[in-house]
Amino acid sequence: MVSIATWNINSVRLRIDQVARFLQQEAPDVLCLQEIKCREEQFPHAAFESLGYRHRAIHGQKGYHGVATVSRIPLREIGRHDWQDNGEARHVGVELLGEGQGLLLENVYIPAGGDIPDREVNLKFGQKLDFLDRMTRWADALDRPTLIVGDFNIAPLQCDVYDHKALLKVVSHTPIEVEALDRFQGAHGWVDLGRKHIPAPERNYSWWSYRSYWRQKDQGRRLDHVWASPEVAAQSRAYRFVEETRRWDQPSDHVPLVTELAL
């Protein structure tokens, strides 16, 4: 059994103690981080080394974005796609070499898309849609067992947000974004493990605004995802979100997801 976690950490250096706490508590074999907000040479390598995560693939940049995959299982980096087409560090792909050998694990941080869901007046929204389009063309050519995880910045189902009608015009839940994500899903036949194991309409949020969570308002959205090729999905045995991290001191606004695969 191989366990794989994903977490938008919102600065790995700021929250390295929380990452260590999570790794000691949940002990996933692999952890995919998004929004690490640092270059590779600034990454807290020593902390991960001391925890036994000696294999790392890091695609970072100064101060913004960035993704990292850390593992107790040997791996090799296989790619860094620039689906944003502007040089931002938003993807790293690896192949597992030990247990789970042959599985491709893609770690992605899809752009948030700004505030206005109109590409004519909001460049960032257009970039998000173009990112999804490029990622869809990539998925259409995939021919190996793959798991793609990360912060997709889209809550696709009506039950993936606290108020569907109120958020229809809010970036992350607009019909145009959901349709783009549907095309990506169809391009490879991805299986959404979050909804395989926690069927709709069960509560399954991964993100809460800093402005609402502390008020104990359950205004969540399911923005983080774990999607699998059909043959990988057939081997998935468990999935959970670790909500307690959202209550830790100075937390990320996202919580980790963990899946277990009988590889």
pTM of the model: 0.97
Question: For residue 215, what pLDDT is reported?
Answer: 65
* Residue 82 CB neighbours (<10 A): 13
Q: Average of pLDDT values for 170-179?
A: 98
Q: Is the pLDDT of residue 56 over 70?
A: yes
R_g of the chain, CA atoms, integer Å: 17
The SS3 call for residue 134 is helix
Identity of residue 87: G
Q: Average of pLDDT values for 102-115?
A: 97
Q: Which domain holds residue 30?
A: 2-261
**Taking all residues of the chain, what is their mean pLDDT, rounded to a whole number?**
96
Question: For residue 147, what pLDDT is reported?
Answer: 98
Q: State what percent of residues in the chain have pLDDT above 70.
A: 99
Q: Average of pLDDT values for 63-86?
A: 97
Q: Is the pLDDT of residue 214 over 80?
A: no
Q: Average of pLDDT values for 194-201?
A: 98
Measured distance CA(62)–CA(80) in Å, rounded: 17
Question: For residue 100, what pLDDT is reported?
Answer: 79
CATH number of the domain enclosing 96: 3.60.10.10
pLDDT band at 161 (very low <50, low <70, confident <90, very high): very high
Q: Average of pLDDT values for 11-40?
A: 98
Number of domains in the chain: 1
